[in-house]
Chain A
Amino acid sequence: MMIHAIVADDEVLARQKLRQLLRDEPEIEIVGEGASASETIDLVRATRPELLFLDIRMPGMDGFDIIGELSVGSDFAMPRIIFTTAYDCYALRAFEIHAVDYLLKPFTSERLHSAVQRAREQISATKQNLGRSNGRSSQDASSYTTRIVFKSRGRILFLPVSDIRWIGAEENYVRICTEADKHLLRETMSHLEEKLDPQMFLRVHRSAIVNLQYLKEVRTEPSGEFTVVLVNGQKVAMSRSYHARISEWLARG
């Protein structure tokens, strides 16, 4: 699958960096570069890309104005947006308009890669949905959250919940563990549990929720306690009262 993309940034070096890094992403083909808002709008209308790398502060209009302009009276599908900016204050707005990701400059190629990865997943999912005639809408997965936005160590993350391996409680905070990272969020376990799809996440302890995708086994320790073992070998303590629930799930699987 080829993804047509446009890079919009008023700084030539910023565009150059993106172009350079995107060479390592074989599925991305850059079909145009915009140095101003109006140029970008014209380019998008002419080329109808699937993906737009968008700086927020540009001469004339800002990135959100460009999106507003494009979505008014357009007869084509909006491109997916990945913001690239030096400002962190627009993150929530970006999240609300369903941007794919929000890259704070300067960013690394890994960070860009994960953003592109997510864009690719979203674009292919949309295509499949269109292919299915009047199939079930994507809203079908119900009201459970599919991603979380938060700030961690100077980065803004639009984290898909499917990346979460497990979540541990620490008093007023929760520690969200992904494959490579851990993030501390001021949240309660019960609030999180409500937001997460029970088909995907299971509370195994008062202070632990695990992603069933990464669950390897449930072990009975010599002491009679139960432990959940994740695919990476991580062990999470499990309370007796939750044991029945997980056994049931394992039997089903």
Chain B
Amino acid sequence: MHPAIFVSASVLLGILFALQEWMSVRLWSYHIGIRLLLEAWGLQYFLWGVLCWLLWRWLGPRIQQAKAFCIITRVLPLSIVISIAEEMIWVSCFPHLPLNRPHLTYWHRLAFQLDAELIDNMVIFWCAFALFRGVGYYQKFREKEDAAAQLSVQLAHAQIATLRMQLNPHFLFNTLNSISSLMRIDVAAADTMLEQLGSLLRITLERGQVQFIRLNDEMEFVEMYLAMQERRFAGRVRQQLSVHPELHDALVPAMILQPLIENAYTHGLSKLDSDGLLVIEATRRDKCLMLSILNNGAGLNSNPPKGSDGQGVGLANIRSRLRLHYGDQHTFDIREVTQDQVEVTITLPLQFSASPTEKLTRFGE
């Protein structure tokens, strides 16, 4: 906030107090010049305005986050020090106050003023403190609201991106082309592929707006996607999936793996004629869930720099979704394990779904 806001708001308050005192002393038929009152009150609150701004400037975040212990051991002494300091400056500016006592020394005057004003000063300090905390809470609240709004926009983008994945030249047309050519030589295989494409679209639509899903649901989707890729790549790629049984219920952002697997195919595995390897693993590291996708396609150097094609957009989308969901509690790395082997690793805080799954499973007859 701008210092002018602090100082002007504070001086305005001082002027109001001065007017109030002027009216009340008039009521008692006692005369003090309005000018002196305005000067005294005005200066006092001007000083407070400056002090508050300095506090805000230097200690604002620390005051907002201070815990009870810190408030007692640090902020309380600080409030006394600042209250006294303010009074010292004020007293030195008004050597002729208090009125009618011309011969007091500076220290006597200070003691006199402190006697009357220390508590008031403390109240001003703690009001400012409360105000800072309130502003902090409000800002945090707004930030959270903004993050939530941003997340839903991001998710909408992710969904559009997934749908685009199924409807873009990359995937849908290639799949349709595969079906079209299979149709002439192997009707059953073409049929299977159509069924798989149908299931994939059905699941995508069903998921709708959900932000987090269980890992086993995400893996089910991945398995379906891999089954289609397997048919397209006809035995050129060996797929290995492993999920630690403890992690089936762990929550992951919906559609987090598929774009990465698609990248593994388009930028790596598609460049191999045989012996492709794709390893997808979900493991537990203490309180973290680690997802890794490794392929032995082409290595990082063989690919054009990010952003020059679709890859950058997909990765940027994943990065920003992870950041919005987890802040700095996650990691996202792409690295070359050995030459030609690229591994993408994501670690997330391990969270489990609280609500039971709505399950279709029934036993009968």
Residues of chain A at the chain B interface (Cβ within 8 Å): 88, 91-92, 95-96, 98, 104-111, 145-156, 169-173, 184-187, 195
Contact = CB atoms under 8 A, between A and B. Distances in A.
A187 B359 CA distance: 10
Contacts of B216: 173, 184
Contact of B198 (A106, A147, A148, A186): A106
The 8 closest A-B pairs by CB, nearest first: A154-B199, A170-B245, A145-B363, A150-B361, A171-B245, A108-B191, A146-B365, A151-B360
B103 interface: no
B365 A145 contact: yes
Interface of B: 188, 191-192, 194-196, 198-200, 202-203, 206, 216, 220, 223-224, 227, 245-246, 248-249, 357, 359-365
Given A147-B364, A185-B361, 12 more contacts: A88-B202, A106-B194, A106-B195, A108-B195, A110-B188, A111-B195, A145-B363, A148-B364, A150-B361, A154-B198, A186-B357, A186-B359
Contacts of A186: 357, 359, 361
A108 B192 contact: yes
A104 B200 CA distance: 12
Contacts of A88: 202, 206
Contacts, number: 86
B203 A154 contact: yes
Contacts of B206: 88
Contacts of B362: 92, 95, 148-150
A55 B290 CA distance: 44
B286 to A, nearest CB: 18
A155 B195 CA distance: 9
Nearest to A172: B249
Interface centre among A106, A147, A195 (most CB of B within 10 A): A106
A63 to B, nearest CB: 19
Nearest to B191: A108
20 contacts: A92-B360, A98-B364, A104-B199, A105-B198, A106-B191, A107-B195, A108-B191, A109-B188, A146-B364, A146-B365, A148-B363, A152-B220, A153-B220, A153-B223, A154-B198, A155-B199, A171-B249, A172-B248, A186-B359, A195-B363
Nearest to B214: A186
Nearest to A112: B191
Contact of A154 (B202, B248, B359): B202
Contacts of B194: 106
A178 to B, nearest CB: 15
B232 to A, nearest CB: 17
A104 B202 contact: yes
B360 A171 contact: no
Nearest to B223: A153
Contacts of B202: 88, 104, 154
Contact of A98 (B200, B223, B360, B365): B365
A20 B198 CA distance: 20
Given A109-B191, A173-B248, A145 B198 contact: no
A153 B363 contact: no
Nearest to B204: A154
Nearest to A196: B363
A88 B199 CA distance: 11
Contacts of A153: 199, 220, 223-224, 227
B248 A108 contact: no
Contacts of B357: 186
Nearest to B190: A108
B354 to A, nearest CB: 13
Residue of B203, B249, B360 contacting most chain A CB atoms (<10 Å) = B360
Given A170-B245, A173-B216, A108 B188 contact: yes
Nearest to B227: A153
B190 to A, nearest CB: 9
A185 B220 CA distance: 11
A195 B245 CA distance: 23
B206 to A, nearest CB: 8
A187 B361 CA distance: 9
Contacts of B361: 148-150, 185-187
A23 to B, nearest CB: 13
B320 to A, nearest CB: 29
A170 B248 contact: yes
